[in-house]
A and B are shown apart, each in its own frame.
Chain A
Amino acid sequence: MLRSIFRRDNEKPSVNTSAAVELRKTALNSVHRRLGAKMVNFGGWDMPLEYSGIIAEHQAVRTRAGLFDVSHMGELEIRGPGALQLLQWVSCNNAAKLNVGQAHYSGLMTSRGTFVDDLLVHKISDTHYLLCVNAGNQDGDFQHIVANNKFDAGLENAGSRYSQLAIQGPHAAEILQKLTPAPLDTIRYYHFTFGKVGGVDCLIARTGYTGEDGFEIYFAPEYSDKLWTDLMQAGESAGMIPCGLGARNTLRLEAGMCLYGHEIDDTTTPWEAGLAWICKMEKAPFLGSDTLAQQKQAGLPRKLIGFEMLDKRIGRDGYPVLITGHEAGRVTSGCPAPFLKKNIGMAYVPSNENTVGAEIEIGIRGQAAPARIVALPFYKRPQ
């Protein structure tokens, strides 16, 4: 066995590990290793996959709290009088609607209306935006925005200036509140403030990638050890545990959230990915808006669906989706859902075959396993 296990998702198999390019490390790399984390190459970064186990970490976030080092995520900053115009041109959500202290989810678009990346846009002021982007896409995103900067905005590829920690779960607010004078109950979902955490200057955002309440804090990397230690200590009595990228993936999938390179990439449009809610045609023209308008009118070739398996087998990333015996698409992400205790996944299918409730099959090592199309998200937290 084990011949295939070191090839983890989002990662091309590397043939000769000793000759592989040196992996990038977050400021907390030695902390993860001291904690005995199983490490994995994720988008060129040496990151913790799991500490105590994906299932235990997943359940901790659903029922208590979890702490994630997500310092591999990239940060880009756009400044100046042209900042909003540039953002409006390269991204599909309507940044003009953001208030200072508000954030939203958006897509960085190609001229074909497909995704260069997905990202969070934070409005710091009328002339200053902070973008949080995927680790592996950061440099490409930066170049793409620079190439489209006909608005004379100031651009900074700022990833090395930030560490980022995510505190996620129903107890996240009470844990973080122990360390900060910022009134967290006044920060609404997808809003942020600047404040001290453990005496360290942070951007404190009520955002996350788990489907739970929680916060993502951004700060200077030299304080990483201190904030990790302070947070773990503050969270101990509430049962917070460190969580890796394994649980981050199962949590986001249960919550029906897209992952770049899986549900979305430079061949998929927001319409196909079920992300019409972040694609605001009223602000057109923007990059790709012509193609997006055409596709909206002509109809979609395919749509993203959620499915659950009807037996114990697991339909995983890349497996074929069979409809009446024929291959109709591919699974984009699939895994056990530890909280729901089902095996779930997302996949693209022809848009006339995406009816919720319809039975489909997933091809698993040459056998057809029954599955059913279900509504997304799979999991919604109790309000």
Chain B
Amino acid sequence: MYPADYRYTKDHEWIKVQGDIGTIGITDYAQQELGDVVFVDAPKVGAKLAPGKSFGSVESVKAVSEIYSPVSGEVTETNPLLVDTPEKINTDPHSAAWLIKLKLADPKEVASLMDAAAYEAYIAEQTKEHSA
């Protein structure tokens, strides 16, 4: 379910690194919790991001959720697919419905994020808390 070559945050973003470019999206767990996604507020190309800083939001019918950058860098691309079909986040959150790409300021930052196994353990814990 959760790609092994991605890294994950506690706020349920994923990042995939290729060279010095990172692609960021939200996880399947996040889209399930949000429900029907209806709007994505993405940053502008060129925006500078810092770890833990909000760079936009994903809105469902019911809720609005800020998105926080896992790492530092500069936005190089936003996903044009999400402008008219934000609901793709519900069906393909780990691939076609990526949110932004950024040029990493420090590729080493990614190492401090959770790997897939750690993230799966983390959401299992979250799920347990919610059903408790």
Contacts and interface: CB of A to CB of B under 8 A. Distances in A.
B33 to A, nearest CB: 6
A373 interface: no
A314 B64 contact: yes
A297 interface: no
A365 interface: yes
12 contacts: A1-B26, A1-B30, A1-B57, A5-B63, A5-B65, A6-B130, A17-B129, A54-B60, A54-B61, A246-B62, A314-B59, A338-B61
B12 interface: yes
Contacts of A226: none
B61 A1 contact: no
B39 A1 contact: no
A18 B128 CA distance: 11
A55 B36 contact: yes
Contact of B35 (A1, A38, A313, A316): A38
Contact of A250 (B26, B34, B61, B68): B61
Among B35, B59, B63, B66, the most chain A Cβ lie within 10 Å of the Cβ of B63
B87 to A, nearest CB: 8
Interface residues of A, number: 26
Contact of A4 (B35, B36, B64, B129): B64
A314 B38 contact: yes
B77 interface: no
A104 B16 CA distance: 58
Nearest to A1: B65
B67 A1 contact: yes
A2 to B, nearest CB: 5
B62 A49 contact: yes
Contacts of B67: 1
Nearest to B41: A313
A38 B34 CA distance: 10
Interface residues of B, number: 27
Contact of B62 (A3, A8, A17, A312): A8
B132 A1 contact: no
Interface in B23-53: 26, 30, 33-36, 38-39, 41
A95 interface: no
A259 to B, nearest CB: 14
Interface string B91-129: 000000000000000000000000000000000000001
Contacts of A53: 35-36
Interface string A87-101: 000000000000000
Interface in A32-75: 38, 49-50, 53-55
B15 interface: no
Contacts of B60: 54
A2 B62 contact: no
A335 interface: yes
Interface of chain A: mostly helix, strand, loop or mixed = loop
B13 interface: yes
Interface string A234-255: 0000000000001000100000
A48 to B, nearest CB: 12
A256 interface: no
B2 to A, nearest CB: 15
A251 to B, nearest CB: 11
B71 interface: no
Given A53-B36, A313-B39, A3 B64 contact: no
B72 to A, nearest CB: 18
Given A1-B12, A2-B12, A38-B35, A54 B63 contact: no
A54 B55 CA distance: 26
Given A2-B65, A250-B61, 10 more contacts: A1-B13, A1-B68, A3-B11, A3-B66, A4-B64, A49-B62, A55-B61, A246-B62, A313-B39, A336-B61
Contacts of A313: 39, 41
A38 B62 CA distance: 12
A17 B30 CA distance: 20
Q: In the complex, which of the residues B26, B38, B61 has the most CB atoms of chain A within 10 Å of its own CB atom?
A: B61
B11 to A, nearest CB: 5
A312 B62 CA distance: 15
A54 B33 CA distance: 12
B75 interface: no
Contacts of B35: 38, 49-50, 53-54, 246
A-B interface, 7 closest residue pairs, ranked by CB to CB distance from nearest: A1-B65, A54-B61, A5-B63, A55-B36, A336-B38, A1-B67, A2-B12
